[in-house]
């Protein structure tokens, strides 16, 4: 299947033409998913209305994956309005569509409130699920639900709740995953997106 960049030329042209006046200037430092363009008054009002009613998304396709960005308006120090793309949600497309599952190079520990490993280790991770290894005890003792923290990096903990779905082979259990709040969800989404960028650099070429 033909490989596409994260945003095709048509999609980039579409974003650029949202502006009634695009100015040439040095691009500022932006977040990993950041892409900004100037927006005129009428376009700004239209985008603000669409964003308020959750009607505006921008999609990019790569192989059998779909990346969905939610644009939002930002304002610079000179009160200029810009369209910025937030961290995308990534989906796998097939007979059924589901959030992209990240297979980790090394499992991530689920920790208690003190940062101590709980004996549950994540091998696969998505925005709404995880494949978890049970260490130090029988798989039959895996908790039906938990509230623990994903250890993303040395000191980065993201609080999540897990609900047992099924027992898998190799001492592993599938859980439905739910971040405890909006900041936790954003942190998890950013982590998954950064991992996607590392695994598919050709999809994020600019």
Q: What CATH number has the domain bearing residue 165?
A: 2.40.10.220
Task: Look up residue 76 and give its two tokens.
Answer: 């610079």
Q: What pLDDT, on the 0 to 100 scale, is given for residue 4? A: 47
Q: At 95, is the pLDDT very low, low, confident or very high (cuts 50, 70, 90)? A: confident
The rounded distance, in Å, linking the Cα atoms of 205 and 186 is: 23
**Residues 90 and 109 reside in one and the same domain:** no
**Residues 80 and 135 reside in one and the same domain:** no
**Residues 29 and 55 reside in one and the same domain:** yes
Q: Is 54 inside any structural domain? A: yes
Which residues, 6+ apart, have CB-to-CB distance to 106 below 8 Å?
none
Q: Is 25 inside any structural domain? A: yes
Average pLDDT over residues 43-61: 69
Q: Is 2 inside any structural domain? A: no
**Residues 80 and 157 reside in one and the same domain:** no
**Residues 46 and 92 reside in one and the same domain:** yes
Residue 19 has pLDDT above 70, yes or no: no
**Residues 123 and 194 reside in one and the same domain:** yes
Q: What pLDDT, on the 0 to 100 scale, is given for residue 206? A: 52
DSSP tag of 130:
E
Do residues 83 and 39 lie in contact, with contact meaning Cβ atoms separated by under 8 Å? yes
Average pLDDT over residues 167-192: 90
- From 30, 62, 97, the end of a domain falls on 97
Q: At 37, is the pLDDT very low, low, confident or very high (cuts 50, 70, 90)? A: very low
What is the residue range of 70's domain?
Answer: 9-97
**Residues 93 and 13 reside in one and the same domain:** yes
Count of domains for the chain:
2
Q: What integer best gives the mean pLDDT of the chain?
A: 76
Average pLDDT over residues 90-107: 87
The rounded distance, in Å, linking the Cα atoms of 50 and 55 is: 5
Q: Is 121 inside any structural domain? A: yes
The rounded distance, in Å, linking the Cα atoms of 112 and 129 is: 19
Q: What pLDDT, on the 0 to 100 scale, is given for residue 23? A: 36
Residue 177 has pLDDT above 90, yes or no: yes
Q: pLDDT above 90 covers what percent of the chain?
A: 28
């Amino acid at each position: 299947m033909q490989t596409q960049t994260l945003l095709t030329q048509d999609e980039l042209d579409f974003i650029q033409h949202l502006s009634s006046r695009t100015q040439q200037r040095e691009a500022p430092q932006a977040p990993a998913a950041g892409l900004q363009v100037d927006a005129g008054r009428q376009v700004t009002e239209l985008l603000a209305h669409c964003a308020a009613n959750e009607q505006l998304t921008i999609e990019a396709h790569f192989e059998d994956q779909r990346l969905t960005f939610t644009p939002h308006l930002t304002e610079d120090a000179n009160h200029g309005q810009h369209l910025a793309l937030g961290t995308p949600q990534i989906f796998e497309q097939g007979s059924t569509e589901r959030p992209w599952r990240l297979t980790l190079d090394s499992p991530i520990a689920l920790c208690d409130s003190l940062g101590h490993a709980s004996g549950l280790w994540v091998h696969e991770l998505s925005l709404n699920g995880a494949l978890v290894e049970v260490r130090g005890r029988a798989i039959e003792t895996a908790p039906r639900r938990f509230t623990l923290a994903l250890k993303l990096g040395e000191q980065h903990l993201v609080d999540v709740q897990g609900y047992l779905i099924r027992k898998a082979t190799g001492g592993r259990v599938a859980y439905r995953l739910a971040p405890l709040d909006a900041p936790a969800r954003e942190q998890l989404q950013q982590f998954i997106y950064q991992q996607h960028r590392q695994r598919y650099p050709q999809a994020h070429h600019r």
